[in-house]
Amino acid sequence: MASAILTIDLDAVGANWRALDRLSGPEVQTAAVVKADAYGLGVTRVARALAQAGARRFFVAQAEEGAAVRQALGPGPQISVLSGHMSGDTEMIHDLDLTPMLNSLEQITRHLESLPGHPFGVQLDTGLNRLGVEMLEWQAVAAIIIDAGPALLMSHLACADEPDHPLNLAQLEAFHEMTDGTGLPRSLAATGGIQLGPKYHFDLTRPGIGLYGGLPFATAAPAVTLSLPVIQTREVDPGESVGYGCTWVAESTAIIATLAAGYADGLPRTLSNTAMLWDGDIPCPIVGRVSMDLITVDITHLREIPRSLDILGPHQTVDELAEAAGTIGYELLTALGPRYTRRYLEHSA
C-alpha cells in the first residue's frame, strides 16, 4: 500500500471531551467544535464518538458542515453555525434544524424575516474584530433581539492561549457589559478559555482543538498517529545530493528512504531538512526538500529497513511537528489531505 495511514483514536477524542467537560464545571454545558471536517479527522465518525461521550451541542463553521453533522447524528443534537445565516442558507437552516449564530444586523434582519420563530444565537464582537455584532450596534438592537429569544449569546477570545494577556480580561469585561442582565445563556470560552478558569465559562463552553489532542490543552490524550510507507531505499555516496535544489548533500555514505507523502498531503515544505520521523523510538531526519508526493529520510543508523515511519505519534505531537514547520498545530491538523487511509480506533464501541 502506497497510501500513508492516518489513525484517529476516537476513545482519546471522547476522553478529551470528558476532561474538558470536567474543567468546565458541573453547571456548565460543554459543546464540541467539529468544523473543518472535525479538524481534518472525519466529522461523521468523530461527531458520533463525541455524542457517545456526552456532547449534545455541536459547532460548525458553515451550514454545509452542519448538514454533514446532522446526517451523522440525526435529529436531537443542536448544531450551531458560526458563520450565521448567509444568503441562500435559509432552506438548509430550516430543513436541518440548524441554529445560526447571527453576526451582523444584516443577518439578524434576514433571519427574523425569513424564519420567524426558528432558533438562533448572536455572536458579539468583544475585541477579536473578526465576526460579531459590535458594542454600539448591540446597544441599539439588544432589546429587540432579546425579545425574540436567542438560544445563546457568544463571543470569542483572541488570546486565550496566553493566560496573562490583558485582552482576555478586557474581552471578559466587554462581554459582561454587553450581556449582563439579559437572562440568556452565554458562551465565551473555547479550549483556551476553559483553562482560564470559571469566570470565563458562563453557561456553555466550546472546546475545539483540545478535543483532538492539541495545545493549549497540554494534558490532552494524543488522538492522531500518521505513518508514512517506505516506497524505496537507496545508497547515496559522499558528495551526492538528495531531492530538488540539492539542499542536502551526503557527507558520508547514507541510506535514504523515500516515503509516500508530501505537501499535497498537508506536510509543508518548511519541514525540509528540519523535522524528524520515527522508527519506534529512534528519530530519523528528513533530508532534502519535501516535494508534492514524497519525503526523503536518512535511515542509515537503523538496523533494518522499516516498512513505514511515523511523523505523528507518541514521540511527536502535531504541535511539535508544527513548531518544526514554523506554524501551529491547527493548521497542520486541518491540512491533512484526502489521500491518507483513515483508520479509526474505538475500543469502547
Tell me which residue of 18, 5, 10 sits closest to 38, measured CA to CA.
10
Phi and psi for 55 in degrees, rounded to 5?
Answer: -70, 135
Tell me which residue of 69, 133, 56, 132 sits closest to 98, measured CA to CA.
69
Strands (E), the chain: 5-9, 29-30, 32-33, 57-60, 78-81, 98-102, 121-123, 153-154, 186-187, 204-205, 224-236, 241-242, 248-249, 254-260, 276-279, 282-285, 294-298, 308-312, 341-345
Catalytic positions, please? 35, 244
Question: What amino acid occupies position 99?
Answer: T
185 three-class SS: coil
Q: How many CA atoms lie within 13 Å of 115's alpha carbon, on the beta-carbon side? A: 25
Cα–Cα distance, 296 to 259 (Å, whole number): 6
